[in-house]
Structure 1
Amino acid sequence: MNETMTAQEVINQFEKWAPKHFAYDWDNVGLQVGTLHKPVHTIMVTLDVLENVVDEAIEKGVDLIIAHHPLLFVKLSQINLDTPKGRVVQKLIKHDITVYAAHTNLDVAAGGVNDVMADLLGVKQTKPLIETEKDSLVKLTVFVPESHANELREAISEAGAGHIGNYSHCTYQLSGQGTFKPESGTDPYIGEQGKMEYVDEKRIETIVPKTKLPAVLKAMEDTHPYEEVAYDLYPLLNEGEQMGVGRVGKLDEPVLLSTLVERVKKEYQVPHVRVSGNLDKKVKKVALLGGSGEKYIHAAKRSGADVYVTGDMTFHMTQDAAEMGLSVIDPGHHVEKVVCPKVKQYLEDHCNGVGNLNIIISESNTEPFKVI
């Protein structure tokens, strides 16, 4: 195991889960401040990058901050060190702390913000509330010596190949004989220069989402013993996974709206919520969207949802929802923090086998509201 990873290597692993192209065009995801070309030892996961968070990062010797909300969301015309934003940037640069943001790409990603919110409430059989795009699919066919077939199959499956519905590691293989003649300047794993070789090989076929293809090809090349890997890629007409923001799904059993309210408070760890609707009404189908989701109340209604869980609901939009017969639970914008443990776990699972990292979640409070 390597002693250290670079920030770029960490982000490469992270973007296998939440690639930047998942984000909306208006969003500013990715590197915010600093450099990715440096070793990292301590990573802090946070919802926001405010001055108290940066002070905590300095105190704890953090090298890389991975935030949900971009530090530089609005285009800057100046960096004024007399402003809170300017002081934050100054401290980050002075203490060599890199900041990376995963915003709407983490909202869209499977297992990201909205899926965590749904899982906590027991909302199942989910699909996107707002569809963005469908991931296109390709078929990968690779030829590998029998001795390395199982290792290669495992590597490409772990990198994202071979997922069909709720099944993983889906491949098909045939046995055959590969032939090749190493020419001058080669360093063959099997055989000698100028001599024809006949090798018992496996032909392994699998399906790969196009967004996972770079990671799958890298895993294939890293695992394959040959100097030159023989493989084919075929575009497919099969439709890939539907991606989008928000989620719509169902509870196992109908519950009173008041019961769901208490579940939201408990699972999202918030002391209060705002509610619109009949608390004695039973609800089963739930739409939800982390962050600010009031503009999607019509989509929530069209989905057949009984209740919509989202933050930043305004007076008139909540009235509109009520008139449509759509109950609303507003736990605030800050509940997106529930994704932080998932990000920490993902990094531990995918990076600590490569580098020795200390991954922490910020303990600083960035919720601006208090209810008195």
Structure 2
Amino acid sequence: MPLYGFDLISAMQDYAPSLLAVEKDRIGLQVGDPKSEIRKVLVTLDVNEEVVNEAIRIGANWIVTHHAVIFQPLKEIRTDQPVGRMFARILANHINIYVAHTNLDAAVNGVNDVLAAKIGLKNTKTLITYKEDPLKKLVVTVPVDHHEPVLQAVSEAGAGWIGNYSHCTFNVEGTGTFLPRDGANPYVGKAGELERIREIRLETVMPASLESKVIQAMLEAHPYEEVAYDIYPLHLKGTPLGFGKIGDLPKRMKLDDFAGLVKKAYACDGVRVVGDPHEQVRKVAILGGSGGRYIADAKRQGADVYITGDLDFHTAQEALAQGLSLIDPGHYIEHWVVPQVCKKLKERLNRQVEVEPSRVDTNPFRFI
């Protein structure tokens, strides 16, 4: 059974919902047709001519990228220039490009979770909160003999989580009535006859970002042709959404020893370090990409050291004055999320199509 672009988009929305993105971020399908059949998927940090040529070479007609291929408005597409030439090859070879940027930064098992895990951070929480994933309540009535499958389906889809507890629901039994009309195909009962059936009213909470996934799971597990359910907004504090992670190392380390660990963990040619080499560090903040503007947030949350890329001279001086150590391993460390995206896509597409990581090194910097 073939899969199409909207299947890939649904899979990526499941993993990194667009709700997680900051306002006006360039995400989603940037080039192509959501109805295009998927032959093979290439996952990359960036899209450039070499990556496009790689996609053509391996027969991939879908590219999933972290950095947008169209970030600034295009003023022209000149095929005698690198950008225009790249877009000409994209279009001529019917390549579709999907972007997951800040939504992938903030996603569970996204960029910053991957980076935090690679250096062994424990007890992590969000570093920069910019909004919340609001909570909603799902209420559905289910015939008694299908109550357990529906409860399990919505719980496994992400509903019913309260703190460290899953499968949190409230259930009460009652009597449901319905009268099937002409053309109906009822699970029980006959057309034209009023039916009474023992049902259970199941209530549970869910994050708004998982609403479509939970509803789909509920509908697939429910036996009725027409399912009666309600969704209510809740005036409760939702899950904080945002960039970066802050957590603890298993034990204290000297700053320069930790910088060496970071260099090895991310396979960097080198890292830039700000701070006393003998300072003992334990609490670590990390933000993949360019996070220099958030040094005050890292300090306020008690970080001993902050890892991020693209740090400038004056930002480093400011951090030093505030007593915050810095490690800059470069922007390119975000590429460590690529294998995770491949893994998630394979799982969500049921391994029906090939998903490959790009082997092109798009890091523009090198050390000599």
The offset of 1:154, in angstroms, is: 2.5
- Structure-1 residue corresponding to 2:364: 368
- Structure-1 residue corresponding to 2:136: 138
- Structure-2 residue corresponding to 1:121: 119
- Structure-1 residue corresponding to 2:159: 161
Q: Distance in 2 between matches of 1:67 and 1:182?
A: 49
- Structure-2 residue corresponding to 1:31: 29
The offset of 1:271, in angstroms, is: 2.2
Shift of the 362–190 alpha-carbon distance from structure 1 to 2, 3 Å rule, reads same
- Structure-2 residue corresponding to 1:70: 68
The offset of 1:35, in angstroms, is: 1.3
1:14 counterpart (12, 15, 20) = 12
The offset of 1:93, in angstroms, is: 0.9
Shift of the 166–120 alpha-carbon distance from structure 1 to 2, 3 Å rule, reads farther
Q: Distance in 2 between matches of 1:99 and 1:308?
A: 33
* RMSD of aligned Cα (Å): 1.5
For residue 5 of structure 1, give the secondary structure of its aligned residue in structure 2. coil
Q: Distance in 1 between matches of 2:80 and 2:258?
A: 45
- Structure-2 residue corresponding to 1:206: 204
Aligned pair count reads 368
AA at the equivalent of 1:365:
D
| Aligned residues of 2:269 and 2:367 also touching (Cα < 8 A) | no
- Structure-2 residue corresponding to 1:359: 355
- Structure-1 residue corresponding to 2:38: 40
The offset of 1:26, in angstroms, is: 3.5
The offset of 1:127, in angstroms, is: 2.1
The offset of 1:338, in angstroms, is: 0.9
Moved more, 241-250 or 150-159: 150-159
AA at the equivalent of 2:358:
S
| Aligned residues of 2:26 and 2:68 also touching (Cα < 8 A) | yes
1:331 aligns to 2:322 (yes or no):
no
Q: Distance in 1 between matches of 2:122 and 2:164?
A: 14
1:299-338 map, 5 Å: 299-338=297-336
Q: Distance in 1 between matches of 2:262 and 2:212?
A: 38
Which 4+ residue blocks in structure 1 deviate beyond 4 angstroms?
A: none
Q: Distance in 2 between matches of 1:273 and 1:166?
A: 37
The offset of 1:105, in angstroms, is: 1.1
AA at the equivalent of 1:139:
K
| Aligned residues of 1:33 and 1:89 also touching (Cα < 8 A) | no
The offset of 1:114, in angstroms, is: 0.9
The offset of 1:146, in angstroms, is: 2.5
1:242 counterpart (237, 240, 243) = 240
Q: Distance in 2 between matches of 1:14 and 1:26?
A: 18
- Structure-1 residue corresponding to 2:230: 232
| Aligned residues of 2:289 and 2:331 also touching (Cα < 8 A) | yes
Q: Distance in 2 between matches of 1:344 and 1:166?
A: 28
The offset of 1:111, in angstroms, is: 1.9
1:47-104, Cα deviation, whole Å (9 max, x unpaired) = 0001111111100000210000000011111111122111111111111110111111
1:174 aligns to 2:172 (yes or no):
yes
Structure 2: runs of 5 or more not aligned: none
Q: Distance in 2 between matches of 1:217 and 1:229?
A: 11
The offset of 1:317, in angstroms, is: 0.9
For residue 207 of structure 1, give the secondary structure of its aligned residue in structure 2. strand
AA at the equivalent of 2:254:
L
The offset of 1:13, in angstroms, is: 1.8
Q: Distance in 2 between matches of 1:145 and 1:41?
A: 41
Moved more, 123-132 or 359-368: 123-132
1:196-216, Cα deviation, whole Å (9 max, x unpaired) = 222232222211111211221
1:241-274, Cα deviation, whole Å (9 max, x unpaired) = 0111111122222122122212212221212111
AA at the equivalent of 2:270:
H
Q: Distance in 2 between matches of 1:157 and 1:328?
A: 41
Q: Distance in 2 between matches of 1:303 and 1:164?
A: 24
TM-score by length of 2: 0.96
Query: Could you tell me the percent identity over the aligned residues?
Result: 45
| Aligned residues of 1:31 and 1:100 also touching (Cα < 8 A) | yes
For residue 65 of structure 1, give the secondary structure of its aligned residue in structure 2. strand
Q: Distance in 1 between matches of 2:11 and 2:298?
A: 33
The offset of 1:175, in angstroms, is: 3.2
For residue 34 of structure 2, give the secondary structure of its aligned residue in structure 1. coil
| Aligned residues of 2:269 and 2:366 also touching (Cα < 8 A) | no
- Structure-2 residue corresponding to 1:93: 91
